[in-house]
């Protein structure tokens, strides 16, 4: 007794192939007999087609303007930040905490800072109080 998987027959390769004499299971004539049809193709029913029934995809194109949402950075990442260097977008990129193409950043979260920081980026209210408790100052640019 053999336990091998039976190979699938390839259709449309002549009468001697075992499957695929004349129409190879595709019926007679027409578009479906000749080629594959796109999955969303529904003939000439353009008014009731799937694409027409879906809502507009607002802002999903490649020409969409760049989002101005800031990159979020947790305050915990700045616990070991040097006291002498101000926290700016440029300095965060140089120290590889942000990607080079980052346009804006906002610091969020609550963390206990051991020393004061000079922060010159957008900061949430809770992060602002945590920085102020440590004796630091915040300035939005």
Reported as a single tens digit per residue, the pLDDT across 51-98 is: 677 777 666 666 555 567 899 999 999 999 998 999 999 999 999 999
The string of pLDDT tens digits covering residues 39-52 is 777 776 666 666 67
Please tell me the predicted confidence (pLDDT) of residue 78: 92
Structural domains of the chain sorted by starting position, each given as residue range(s) with its CATH number in brackets:
71-138 (3.100.10.10)
Measured CA to CA, the distance from residue 130 to residue 125 in angstroms comes to 9
Give the dihedral sign, CA 10/14/18/22.
Answer: positive
Over the stretch 89-125, which tens digit does the pLDDT of each residue have?
A: 999 999 999 999 898 999 999 888 988 999 999 999 9
- Which sign does the torsion angle of CA 20, 25, 29, 31 carry? negative
Question: For the chain, first and last CA: distance in Å?
Answer: 78
User: Which DSSP helix (H) or strand (E) runs through 29?
Assistant: none
88-119: burial string, b at 16+ Cβ within 10 Å, e else: bbebbeeeebbeeeeeebebbeebebeeebbb
Question: For the segment 2-42, what is each residue's pLDDT rounded down to a tens digit?
Answer: 778 888 878 888 777 777 778 888 888 888 888 888 877 77
Rg (CA), the chain: 32
């Amino acid at each position: 007794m053999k336990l091998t998987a039976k190979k699938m027959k390839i259709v449309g390769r002549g009468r001697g192939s075992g499957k695929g004499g004349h129409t190879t299971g595709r019926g007679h004539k027409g578009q479906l007999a000749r080629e594959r049809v796109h999955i969303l193709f529904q003939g000439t029913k353009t008014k009731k087609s799937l694409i027409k029934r879906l809502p507009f995809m607002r802002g999903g194109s490649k020409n969409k303007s760049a989002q101005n949402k800031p990159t979020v950075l947790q305050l915990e990442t700045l616990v070991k930040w040097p006291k002498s260097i101000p926290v700016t977008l440029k300095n965060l990129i140089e120290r590889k905490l942000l990607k080079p193409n980052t346009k804006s950043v906002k610091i969020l979260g609550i963390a206990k800072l051991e020393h004061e920081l000079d922060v010159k980026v957008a900061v949430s209210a809770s992060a602002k109080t945590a920085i102020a408790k440590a004796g630091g100052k915040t300035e939005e640019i």
